[in-house]
Each structure stands twice: as C-alpha cells, then as structure tokens.
Chains A and B, each alone.
Chain A
C-alpha cells in the first residue's frame, strides 16, 4: 500500500510539470498583457518597458517558465497586476471555493445517493420514473439557467435568501449556490447509484444476506450499498476537482469571490501569474482527489489490494 502511494505521488511530478507548462504557454500566446493595462490609451513606451521588466515579460518564454517554477518551489507565486501577491489572492479565494465545493459535494452525497438507493430498490415504480425524469431534466438544463432562475425566484421574488453572497461567504449563504453547482453532478450520482444498486441487488451475496435473516436495513447499508458505491466514489472524487475549477459560472451569478472569479479576472486581464498559479493549485487538487479515490476502493472492497 505504502509503495503504491509513493509510486502514485512520483507519477504526479511529470503530470504537474506538463500541465503547468501547457497553461503557461497558452496564457502567453494571448498577446501582450501590458498593452491591456492602460485602457483605451496607448501605454507610454518607457513605462511599458519598465513594467515588462518588472514582471519578467521581456525574457523568452522558456526562461520565464523556469524562473516561475523556481519561485513556486519557494512558495512565491508572483504578483498580480493590481499589485497583490498571488498567494494573497489564493488565501482569500480558496477557502470560499472549498466551502462551496463542500456544500456541493454534501448535496451530491446526501441527496444523490439517497435518491439513488430509493429508486434503485424500486425499479419501474412511479418513484423511480419520476426521479429518472427529474434527473434527465436537471442534466439537460445548463447551470446558468438553473442558477439565474433560482436566484430570481428564491432571492428576488420570494426574498427568502439574499440574491448574492457576502464577501465572507458563510455556509448558510452558500446553500443555494452549492445546490446549483451540484445540480448536474447530483443527477449523475443518482443515476449511477440507482443502476449500481439495481444490478447488485440481484447478486448472490445479497441473496445470502437476506437468507441469513439479516435485517433489511443492514443488508442494504452494509452489503448492498458498500459494494455499489465504487463507481459513485470514482465519479464524486473526480468531480471535486471539476467543481472547484468549474465554479466560474456559479460564482459569477451569485457574486462569490472564489477561485472561479479570480481565474476569470486573471484571464480577462491576461495576468499570467494569477492564472498559472491558480491552475497549478487546481491541478494538485485534482491529482490528490484521484489518489484518494483510488485508495478508497481498497476500503470499500477489500478484494482490491495495492501491492
């Protein structure tokens, strides 16, 4: 097990370098970022040259990349164009987005898996049909439609919540945005769980457990659900990374100042330091989430062993 983890961690290194290099190159081909800093006016050439020097933009790209990576390993992610340290931006943005992601993942787990179990055990019944249709609708509607509709109904028309989230972004204000962010994945989790439960409920070990006279509850939770969760855990695990990075739309609608917002600003202003820094961290989150998923397999199904 330990050797497996180490091997996986070592594999992350080339992935990490490859991903950051790609992002670095992509941001760089977008053109000269300094030219955009002066608005509709032309930058004074002397000041522009001075700024380029300060941000290291006058050097060739490979050299910029090396310097950048060198700094990253000392914990220095550079400075955004508005003079703030990128690490400072991260320390305000990541906690907010992590909270939002937690809310979203909780919704996925609690609602998604419960609905999946309920429908999986009642295949073909009206409940099953209704939930299947609902999930289909949710998957079909883009997130910004759900987001804007909920904001308008719950926030503006009924006045139940505030339509936007305050800068501190406490958990209670993140409920509706979290639900919106989770919605599509939630529908997938429901469907995945349902199929998996439906399949496994005919398995021999379930029949044996029932025949032994175990209580129904124990059969479902201990035997049926545990074995059915593997595909669901895979999905939720990879979804954590996707949710953090993909929160741009939701964060924009509800005015949440998280990772999505900072990335959007960074791209718009072509601030290489901001974009590369945030994406680097997101890549790490994604890699770690994948590792944890793989390790969870062994917990859920002891037959899976990593030597």
Chain B
C-alpha cells in the first residue's frame, strides 16, 4: 500500500510540474467580427497555384483567397456571376466575357481582362506542369500550347483575345452550352502580375482577390488567413480570419476539437462517428457533397466487353446491399446511389433520384438469375481492386463482396484485391492493367451534370478509366453540349445517362457526404457542395 501512495504523490508532482509549464500558448484573441477561427488542414499535395491545385486541401485555400468569373452558391451549387458582369454567346461556341468594375487584387493591382487571359494561358501551357491544364482543353488553340507530344509551339491560345480592360472573348473548339458554368472552378481564377514577375515569392505568400489575404504561411504547419478589409465582393468575411493548422492525422484534429483547442474539423474520422453525437450534439454536420463512388470495369478486357456482360454487371449491382453497408460501415455518412450524378445538383441541375431503377435495388434472387443468364462472372471470380493505404476502402470492399457472395451462395465469388499504395493503384489503372472491377470515386469539379458524365464515360475522355465506349452515349452528349437552352441540355444529358444505365457502364454505389464538427465558440458553419466549409460565413462568439 505504501508503494501506491508514493506513486500517487509522484503522479501529482508530475501533473503540477506540467501545469506550470503548459500555460501560455496561442489563444486566439477576441470574438465577434474580429475573432479568429482555427480549422484543421492537410498539407496540400501541390504548390498553391490555381491551375495546379486538384485536391480539396489546396482547394479550400484558393476558395478563401481567389474569386473568379463565377462562384458556386455555397447552398445550392448554382453558378452565379462573381467578377463577370455578363458572359454572352449566340452559338454556344463563341463567348464574350465582360468584367465588373472596381475589382482589385489585395496588392492594389486592378483585375482586368488580361489578368484572366494571362492566367489561363499560363495554366494551359505544358511548360508550366499545371495539373489542371486539361480544364482549358475546350479553348481553341489548347493543342498548340499543350501538345500530346513534343514542345508547345506558342505561348498563348488563339481562342483567347483581350478586347479592352473589361472585356475578352473566348472561342471554344467545340460547342459547349454550359461552359460558362464551369468558370467557378478555381483553375479559372485571375492572377496578378506579381505571380508572373516573382513566381517563387507568390507561391510562398499568394496574393489574390478574395475575402481573405494570406497573413503568414509556414509550409507544412500553418497558414494564417486574415480578413481583407477592402474586399469588394458581397461575400465579405464575417470573422477576423482563419488559421489553418496542418494535422498529421484527422483523429488528432478531432481530439483537439474535443479538448477545446481547435474550432473546426472538416473531416470527422470514421472511427469517431459513433461518438460524434455525444461529443458535439448538433455541432456535427453531415450533408451531401458532390462525390459519388462507383465500381468501374475494364472494358479493354474482352471478357467484360461482351453484349451479355451488361447482364452480369446488372446482376452484380443487384447483389449489393447498399442500404445495409452505408448504415453499418459508414454510419449514414453515405447515401445509397440511385443514379450516376449527385443530389447536390438538384432536380433542375440534372439529379434524378431512382434513374437507376431496379438495377440498383438489392435483390439476391434476381441478381443470381441475371448473372447466370449473362454467362456467369468472367473468369469465375470477381476481384475488386482498391488501394489499401488510405481511405479505409478495405472495409466496404469486403462488405460488398460479402453481399455478393451471400446473394450467389458462393463464398468465393467475390474477393477484394488490395493494391499497396494509391500511386501504384492509379498507375495500374492508367496503364489499363485491371483484370476486374475496381473502385472509382468521382468528386465533381463543378456542379454540372456534364461533369458527372462526360469525363467518365465519353469515348477517350480524361477520366474514362475503364475505357468504356458507346456511340449512342457520345452522340447524346454532343447534342446536349450543343444545346443553347440549359433545361434542354440537362434533359439530353439525362437521356445519355440512360444509356449508361442500360449498359451498366459502372455500378453506382453511394453518394458521399461531407462531415464536419465545430466548437461552441463559433456558429453559422456549413459545408458547400464540395464538402468544404463556407469559411467566410462563420461567426465567432
């Protein structure tokens, strides 16, 4: 017993010593409009340049820092004019862009037509290695400065012309009626001269025209954004600034939130979903985002490219119990998919609940019948490939296989095929080395039905990983892009989506939600359709 008392004393002493040393530290000062919000962040994968940022961590910074011609409404996802006064076209191919007056960058430079044209030419040029270069591929002359092989033959795209300070024209290489709605994508943001004159300095402390400016940036650990008082947009910051803190692990960020050390976590770890209600109550957000998960198939493998294989794919789809998996494994942070788009598009934008029909309903008996009619699973066994390093894909792939095995009454019908790293997984896909279905995820670039269909299923499209090809689908997409009426375009895209359904080009699994949690210090927190917090609306205190 004596030993125990000693231990207690020792523990007490350690605690006192720690208490003495652990005080101080950065409490963020003040509330109200000057309060600073601290938020979790992941180290961006690429340098912070608009046309080089293709993941959500860098994207959220650009969303605070830059404003483009259009901006997607944080609630509805609708593309609304931001810097654009108007974007006119008569033929869906030639556009005239007129800018609003009075916008400047935070260093005082005026935002002109040239700021856009220079930025777009920079982003598209092969020399600059910009990972979003293909965003500019619809503009005429893209092939010259971004050739498939060899070196660029010029510096600028012939489709872009500056008319005067406030006007520029764009000529596309094909008809694309909803093209103006793509302009809210961060890659289309304007850039100040400072970007071109001293690139290294700009990247270490970016200058933009958004509601926030960069106060300090310590790469890999912290980015302090402060409200820009002279911002001329209507979406002014309602807080004093945002401190983005890099976390090595989203579990650690969550721990910091529960300890009152952090205000906002925009990615609640799966392992905490069980506790999140008890920990945060209604300060937990779980709303749909523009992300859909599917199973893609290798159509370059002859066995999957037969007329009968469509039946097999439908059978597999019917053998997956989506409802059960989303509830037990994902704790309702996913919603069973019933079409190939996302609910964030809204009815008018092209989302159509139930478009998939029977083919997405769980029915083991029908599943078995369809697969048998279709000649059985090619090769006798379904192997679903996924990357094992991130994103806890193993759990759901195993569950999907389990569901398929149960339906077919054969415990070897489906197995998971883990690939060590994400990079290896992606390189196997791009080299067309998949022998069976593989996990595919699609996060929209902009809230348009076009973005959920064309890049994924059009012949030869950039993200058509399964190399699916269907002339009727292509024809319908071309027609939809040529429509000048938006409602008509959406209807045509939905017709094209019908072809995807009939052929079961890819099996839709579920829509992903964005999840976030916040402290009681802040309020008015919401996630936009890209599952990024709407930072400028957050109120402190």
Contacts and interface: CB of A to CB of B under 8 A. Distances in A.
B148 A160 contact: no
Given A31-B423, A83-B47, A46 B149 contact: yes
A47 B51 CA distance: 12
A162 B55 contact: no
A35 B248 contact: no
Contact of A89 (B45, B55, B220, B247): B220
Contacts of A23: none
Interface stretch (A97-105, A215-223, A247-255, A278-286): A247-255
B427 A155 contact: no
Interface residues of B, number: 66
B220 A255 contact: no
Interface stretch (A66-74, A165-173, A193-201): A165-173
A54 interface: yes
B278 interface: no
Contacts of A262: 220
B107 to A, nearest CB: 22
Contact of B441 (A40, A172, A252): A40
A164 interface: yes
Contacts of A261: 248
Given A46-B146, A173-B22, A268-B390, A163 B256 contact: yes
Interface string A30-73: 11111111111111111100110010000000000000000000
A273 interface: no
B392 to A, nearest CB: 14
A30 B219 CA distance: 26
Contacts of B390: 268
A159 B221 CA distance: 23
Interface string A228-264: 0000000000000000000000011111110001101
A298 interface: no
Interface stretch (B128-136, B179-187, B376-384): B128-136
A161 B218 CA distance: 24
Given A50-B129, A82-B46, A164-B261, A42 B429 contact: yes
B174 interface: no
Given A41-B54, A50-B126, A254-B252, A92 B146 contact: no
B29 interface: no
Contact of A155 (B19, B43, B253, B255): B255
Nearest to B137: A44
A162 B421 contact: no
A152 B15 contact: no
Given A35-B423, A156-B259, A268 B389 contact: yes
B442 A40 contact: yes
B3 interface: yes
B46 A163 contact: no
B130 A166 contact: no
Contact of A151 (B255, B423, B426): B255
Contacts of A8: none
Interface string B26-60: 10000000000000000111110000001100000
Contact of B423 (A33, A44, A84, A152): A33
B21 A175 contact: yes
Contact of A160 (B18, B26, B219, B421): B18
Given A47-B133, A255-B252, A36 B55 contact: no
A203 B80 CA distance: 87
Given A156-B259, A160-B15, A32 B427 contact: yes
Interface string B74-96: 00000000000000000000000
A154 interface: yes
A70 B44 CA distance: 29
A38 B131 contact: yes
A127 interface: yes
Contact of A54 (B129, B131, B146, B442): B129
Contact of A162 (B261, B427, B430): B261
B238 interface: no
A32 B218 contact: no
Contact of B440 (A37, A40, A155, A175): A40
B196 interface: no
Contact of B46 (A37, A127, A154, A265): A37
Contacts of B15: 154, 158, 160
A138 to B, nearest CB: 14
Contacts of A270: 421, 423
A44 B134 contact: yes
B233 interface: no
Interface in B440-459: 440-443, 455
Contacts of B46: 37, 81-83
Contact of A37 (B45, B126, B147): B45
Contacts of B429: 35, 42
Nearest to B247: A255
Nearest to B134: A44
B421 A30 contact: yes
A176 interface: yes
Interface string B138-149: 000000001111
Contacts of B263: none
A126 B3 contact: yes
B470 interface: no
Given A30-B420, A257-B246, A162 B252 contact: no
A15 interface: no
Contacts of B248: 251-252, 255-257, 261, 264
B520 interface: no
A265 B424 CA distance: 16
21 contacts: A32-B427, A37-B45, A40-B463, A41-B462, A42-B429, A44-B133, A83-B46, A83-B47, A156-B258, A159-B260, A160-B22, A163-B255, A163-B256, A166-B25, A166-B26, A167-B221, A175-B21, A252-B248, A253-B252, A265-B43, A270-B421
Interface of B: 3, 15, 18-19, 21-22, 25-26, 43-47, 54-55, 126-127, 129-131, 133-134, 146-149, 203, 218-222, 245-249, 252-253, 255-256, 258-261, 389-390, 420-430, 440-443, 455, 462-463, 465
Which 5 residue pairs spanning A and B have beta carbons closest together?
A36-B423, A31-B424, A32-B427, A167-B221, A83-B47
Given A31-B423, A167-B246, 17 more contacts: A31-B427, A31-B428, A38-B131, A41-B462, A42-B430, A44-B146, A44-B462, A46-B147, A50-B126, A82-B43, A82-B47, A83-B203, A162-B25, A173-B22, A251-B248, A254-B252, A270-B421
